[in-house]
């Protein structure tokens, strides 16, 4: 099994990779900005059973470079799975105060992921096989004042995944959208400091890997977020706007 992971230093992605290394002896292509951390992760995955690991030069925004990366990765051998996991939990206040931060958040969380998806989708369409998994978020289910720049970006990814699922319906290509709730990773350090509950990352990774294996179109993890977000999505606006959630 050959797996490409974009944003491989993401806590959830790293724990997913551990499972694929141990259970599938997978071959990996890993991309991340922090190469020092990435090398530590690669060493860890090798001990856990990864068959091979190659580290890709980080390039998240240049469309031509992303296309070239996908072409090159596919040329080296058929790819079974692309996990698009990079993301940045931007601070909402900063997004409001500084437009550059706002733009960066949208570019990292919304624009960049779909460029990677498209770059691989054309190869998968040709081969009629392959899975593209997006790491979305429950935050994408409804805009909320505490994180709507991040949430809207994740919502964009969700709608994009939906469109790709329509495009590949009935084909061998699977599009999976993972929606984790707040998870115990370095990304949520600020929330944890406020005492917010977070799910164990090993559990989220386990459910993510299982969902991807089954090719499920959407995975809420932990599963309790499905009913929670069902309710949140359906609260009438006049009520919702009075709530502080």
- For the record, the structure tokens of 123 come out as 């190869």
Cα separations in angstroms, 159 against 96, 114, 137, 152, 163: 24, 11, 12, 10, 6
Which string of x and - marks every residue 46-85 that binds other proteins (by CB under 8 A)? -xxx------------------------------------
Q: Which of 92, 185, 208, 221 binds other proteins (CB under 8 A)?
A: 185
**Residue 40 in contact with other proteins, rule: CB under 8 A:** yes
Q: Is 233 exposed, middle or buried (0-12, 13-18, 19+ CB in 10 A)?
A: exposed
Q: Select from 195, 234, 238, 244 the one that contacts other proteins (CB under 8 A).
A: 195
Q: Near other proteins by CB under 8 A, which window of 63-71, 90-98, 133-141, 190-198?
A: 190-198
H-type helices in 52-184, by residue range?
63-75, 92-97, 99-106, 112-127, 148-167
Among the candidate windows 38-46, 75-83, 125-133, 170-178, which touches other proteins by CB under 8 A? 38-46
Cα–Cα distance between 54 and 65 in angstroms, integer? 17
Counting contacts by CB under 8 A, is residue 197 touching other proteins? no
- Residues lying near other proteins in the complex (CB under 8 A): 11, 22, 36-37, 40-41, 43-44, 47-49, 184-186, 189, 192-193, 195
């Amino acid at each position: 099994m050959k797996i490409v992971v974009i944003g491989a230093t993401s806590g959830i992605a790293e724990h997913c990779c551990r499972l694929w290394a141990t259970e599938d002896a997978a071959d990996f292509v890993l991309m991340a900005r922090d190469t020092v951390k990435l090398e530590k992760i690669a060493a860890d995955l090798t001990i856990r059973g990864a068959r091979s690991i190659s580290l890709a030069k980080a390039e998240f925004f240049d469309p031509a470079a992303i296309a070239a990366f996908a072409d090159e990765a596919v040329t080296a051998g058929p790819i079974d799975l692309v996990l698009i996991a990079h993301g940045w939990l931007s601070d909402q206040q900063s997004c409001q105060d500084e437009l550059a931060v706002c733009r960066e958040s949208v570019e990292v969380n919304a624009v960049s992921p779909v460029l990677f998806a498209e770059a691989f989708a054309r190869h998968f369409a040709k081969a009629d096989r392959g899975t593209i998994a997006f790491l979305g978020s429950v935050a994408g289910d409804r805009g909320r004042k505490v994180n709507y720049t991040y949430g809207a970006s994740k919502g964009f990814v969700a709608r994009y995944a939906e469109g790709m699922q329509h495009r590949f319906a009935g084909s061998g290509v699977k599009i999976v959208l993972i929606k984790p709730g707040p998870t115990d990773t370095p990304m949520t350090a600020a929330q944890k400091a406020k005492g917010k509950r977070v799910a164990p990352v090993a559990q989220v990774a386990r459910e993510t890997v299982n969902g991807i294996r089954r090719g499920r179109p959407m995975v809420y993890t932990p599963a309790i977020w499905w009913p929670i977000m069902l309710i949140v999505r359906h609260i009438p606006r006049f009520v919702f706007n009075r709530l502080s959630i």
